[in-house]
Amino acid sequence: MDVLLHPPRDNERWHDALAPRIARALPGTHLRVWPERGPDPGRIEVALVWGAPPDMFASLPGLRCVMALGAGVDDLLPVVPPGVTLARLVDPALTASMTEYVLYHVLRYHRGMEAYTADRAQRLWHPRSYPPASARSVGVLGLGELGGHAARTLASLGFRVLGWSRTARQMEGVECMSGPDSLDTLLAQSDIVVCLLPLTPETRDILDARSFAHMRRGAHLINAARGAHVVDDDLLAALDTGHLAGAALDVFREEPLPPDHPFWRHPRITLTPHIASLTSLDSVAKELTANLRRFVAGKPLKHLVDRDRGY
């Protein structure tokens, strides 16, 4: 069997992190880096993929399994051929690093740090009071691997945490809600809303004018999931009227964010280039190799994507 690799960037680093592990775990298996497919592309049974090139899957007649190199699979689901198993990335380092991103922005908003940046430009000494964390509500949309960890960590710092999922969940310290009917309740009770949902037909455009109208006046939004969760013009309108006080965005409908996009120059938007959580090669290589071993042993893979559910 051969394994094909199409990483997000740094092909050589990814190859060097994975190849020795795969060779040790599965002797005789070759790791090929796209577009190189070896003398017999039919030997490639597994592809490790971020952002598949359009012609990739049609050129792999023996493909049986795709392991995503990201947690979100919205881009892969429509292109992975039917009958090919799809697993996504779940990795403790990825989870921890997403929680860091969420904490950073929640604390920044909670403590009103942006005001001091503005004061400093005018050499203004202007202390402001702030409520205790327990008086600040953070609503987390998505209580999966990433949202669940972020929600529990925020709760451990004393914030009031509300969480939203598709199916009912229970999580210590988190007021859990589920199903479409409870979304407005969560939005109306949150000072800061964090989006960590997968992108599916149900969640696309979910943060639109209607949702923003349900959010508290002066609330903040943090979106680290997918750009298409947010309706850009509706967000700009909510910020321009002052209904929302600010937004931290890591993901965008088009990436890289086009230079003329109004988000770049909006004073109430903080933006980062899809770095909320970057894969740590070492940790990811361990997870992928373990799943490859399962595949070869005919055992059920971890983190299988449910195609009907869309995540």
Residues annotated catalytic, as ranges: 226, 274
Retrieve residue 8's tokens. Answer: 């997000």
Binding partner of residue 166 among ligand OXD, ligand NDP, none, CB under 5 to 8 Å per kind? ligand NDP
- Using CB under 6 A, which of 250, 252, 285, 292 touches ligand NDP? 250
Closest CB to ligand NDP among residues 65, 94: 94
- Using CB under 6 A, which of 14, 226, 230, 238 touches ligand NDP? 226
- Examine residue 72 and tell whether it contacts ligand OXD (CB under 6 A): yes
Q: Which parts of 273-292 interact with ligand OXD (CB under 6 A)?
A: 277
- Examine residue 224 and tell whether it contacts ligand NDP (CB under 6 A): yes
SS (H, E, C) the chain: CEEEEECCCCHHHHHHHHHHHHHHHCCCCEEEECCCCCCCHHHEEEEEECCCCCCCHHHCCCCCEEEECCCCCCCCCCCCCCCCEEECCCCHHHHHHHHHHHHHHHHHHHCCHHHHHHHHHCCCCCCCCCCCHHHCEEEEECCCHHHHHHHHHHHHCCCEEEEEECCCCCECCEEEEECHHHHHHHHHCCCEEEECCCCCCCCCCCECHHHHHHCCCCEEEEECCCHHHECHHHHHHHHHCCCEEEEEECCCCCCCCCCCCHHHHCCCEEECCCCCCCCCHHHHHHHHHHHHHHHHCCCCCCCECCCCCCC
Binding mask 83-122 for ligand OXD (x = CB under 6 A): ------x---------------------------------
From the list 20-28, 45-53, 158-166, 184-192, the region that binds ligand NDP by CB under 6 A is 158-166
- Examine residue 153 and tell whether it contacts ligand NDP (CB under 6 A): no
- Using CB under 6 A, which of 167, 217, 265, 298 touches ligand NDP? 167
Retrieve residue 145's tokens. Answer: 């691997």
Calpha distance 105→98 (Å, rounded)? 11
- Using CB under 6 A, which of 3, 17, 57, 70 touches ligand OXD? 70
Q: Which parts of 83-142 interact with ligand NDP (CB under 6 A)?
A: 98, 142
Closest CB to ligand OXD among residues 95, 137: 95
Closest CB to ligand OXD among residues 141, 219: 141
Closest CB to ligand NDP among residues 137, 165: 165
* 267 Cα distance to chain centroid: 24
- Examine residue 227 and tell whether it contacts ligand NDP (CB under 6 A): no
Q: Measure CA of the first residue to CA of the last residue in the chain; give whole Å.
A: 28
- Examine residue 195 and tell whether it contacts ligand OXD (CB under 6 A): no
Q: Which parts of 190-219 interact with ligand NDP (CB under 6 A)?
A: 196-200, 202-203
- Using CB under 6 A, which of 26, 48, 71, 106 touches ligand NDP? 71
Residue 94 beta carbon to ligand NDP: minimum distance, rounded to whole angstroms: 6
Calpha distance 161→74 (Å, rounded)? 27
Binding partner of residue 143 among ligand NDP, ligand OXD, none, CB under 5 to 8 Å per kind? ligand NDP
